[in-house]
Amino acid sequence: MSPFTSPPDPILFNHQVWDLVCQIPPGKVAAYGQIAKLIPPPEGVETKAYLTLGPRWVGSAMAKCPNDVPWQRVINSKGEISLRPGAEEQRRLLEAEGVEFNDRGRVDLVRFGWEAGSGSGQPRLL
């Protein structure tokens, strides 16, 4: 078990997350784990532990994101909006961008998923 409940440098990690999320174009979504995989494990955090912790840390960063970060574009790996306050607003914002949900409330990640490095919205870290 990792001793880390948050990134060793939460401010740096959060800014890396927000920088990536700002690159997701309208009408596209990314999963928490996908964002985590685009950020190298912080110093002192083993890769195996980071694979488990990273998506949670991304979720924590998104809960604290500034107003100019398109938070609505980050969903879970099932293509669903995580249940929490603001979920209805998130769906409304995504639908306004053209993202469609199926009858089970899921987004087709093949159709609407952001592919990092695929032209517009290419990831770059600070």
Give dist(CA 95, CA 102) in Å, integer: 12
Phi, psi of 31 (to 5 degrees): -90, 155
Residue 125 has a pLDDT of: 42
Residue 122 has a pLDDT of: 47
Domain 10-112 class in CATH: mainly alpha
Closest CA to 57 of 15, 14, 104, 26: 14
Q: Global pTM?
A: 0.88
Residue-by-residue pLDDT tens, the chain, 126 positions: 556 788 999 999 999 999 999 999 999 999 999 999 999 999 999 999 999 999 999 999 999 999 999 999 999 999 999 988 889 999 999 999 999 999 999 999 999 999 987 654 444 443
